[in-house]
Amino acid sequence: MAFFSLPQRHRPARVLPGFNITLGFTLTYLSLIVLIPLSALIFKTFTLTWEQFWAAVTGPRVMASYRLTFGASLVAALVNVVFGLLVAWVLVRYNFFGKKVVDALVDLPFALPTAVAGISLTALLAGNGWIGQYLEPLGIQLAFNPNGVVIALIFIGLPFVVRTVQPVLEDAEKELEEAATCLGATRWQIFSRVIFPSIAPALLTGFAMAFARAIGEYGSVIFIAGNMPMVSEITPLIIGKLEQYDYAGATAVAVVMLVISFVLLLVINALQAWQRRHTGAPA
């Protein structure tokens, strides 16, 4: 009598060590790099009373920096949504000479040091710059004021929108657009009812990422902003100046920015989860 045994399921060989070891290394690394420095920031803030904390984070100069930082970040993110979609559309739907070069240039703000970006923009837009020397006689000043802040934030935020929308456009089903065309839909109807609903989650994610990136930007803004108190001074610069004479006050403002950044990260993660559900991609 022959006996047959079912094949045993073999566990896949682990490339890395087991869960306990990898989890231990993960928690240790995160503690050293992220948690301990942030804890020191929060503990230093606790040396202030509530009245001192509130006075530090709501002073006139700090409030002016909030308005500029968040207002300029919002404007830059909205501009990047429009032009980022346009750039992504051109890169996906058209073939032209130099397309790979243009595609590589989109990632330039990622690779370029932010200080270099700020110096370059200042050299272009200042009153004696290549472009600014022609605009300033017309009463258009783009450097050393809030306009320069917005331009710098647009520069560093554009790739986030393009790289978020581009793969969604590449995966879009063109058959739906062709079917809508055959049914007599106009170009605007095709875009608003067929294309836009499929890319809306990616656009929202790109907007949130560009907005979050702009809030914490420092290097590219410091050179072109002018850094005039109550006019063109961003919150990260306020924190740097406060550290010179009021370390606890600087950490208080930094904690406010930390909380806002954390909330934005939660929003971005929620938008990405919504995008995966909307497109049917695996989590």
More confident residue, 102 or 283: 102
Q: Averaged over 244-263, what is the pLDDT?
A: 82
CB atoms within 10 A of CB 44: 16
Question: In this model, does residue 99 exceed pLDDT 80?
Answer: yes
**Are 87 and 160 spatial neighbours (Cβ–Cβ below 8 Å)?**
no
pLDDT > 70 in the chain, percent: 89
- What is the domain extent for residue 192? 48-109+162-215+227-279
Highest mean pLDDT among 32-41, 135-144, 150-159, 197-206: 150-159
Q: Please give the Cα distance from 259 to 256 (Å, whole number).
A: 5
pLDDT tens digits for range 116-153: 888 889 889 888 888 988 988 888 888 888 998 999 99
Answer with the residue of higher pLDDT: 182 or 272.
182
Three-state secondary structure along 8-54? Answer: CCCCCCCCCCCHHHHHHHHHHHHHHHHHHHHHHHHHHHCCCCHHHHH
Nearest Cα neighbor of 167 from 213, 209, 201 is 201
- Asked if residue 95 belongs to a domain, the reply is yes
| Residue 49 φ/ψ, nearest 5 degrees | -75, 170
What pLDDT score does 242 carry? 62
Kindly state the tokens that stand for 71. Answer: 């207002």
115 lies in some domain: no
Domain-located, residue 243: yes
Tens of pLDDT, residue by residue over 60-91, are 888 999 999 999 999 999 999 999 999 999 99
Q: Is the pLDDT of residue 278 over 80?
A: no
**pLDDT for residue 223 is more than 80:** yes
More confident site: 15 or 136: 136
Is residue 212 predicted with pLDDT exceeding 50?
yes
- Which CATH number goes with the domain that contains 173? 1.10.3720.10
Residue 150 forms part of a structural domain: no
Check residues 178 and 139 and name the one with the higher pLDDT.
Answer: 139
- Residue 149 covered by a domain: no
Mean pLDDT of the chain: 83
Domains contained in the chain, number: 1
36 in a structural domain: no
The answer to whether 223 and 121 have CB atoms below 8 angstroms apart is yes
The answer to the question of residue 222 being in a domain is: no
3-class secondary-structure state, position 23: helix
Q: Is the pLDDT of residue 161 over 60?
A: yes
- Strand, helix or coil for residue 275: helix
**E-assigned strand segments in the chain:** none
- The model carries a pTM of 0.81
- 10 inside domain: no
Rounded Cα distance between 171 and 92, Å, is 10
Residues 6+ apart with CB under 8 A from 81: 161, 203, 206, 207, 210
Comparing 19 with 15, the larger pLDDT belongs to 19
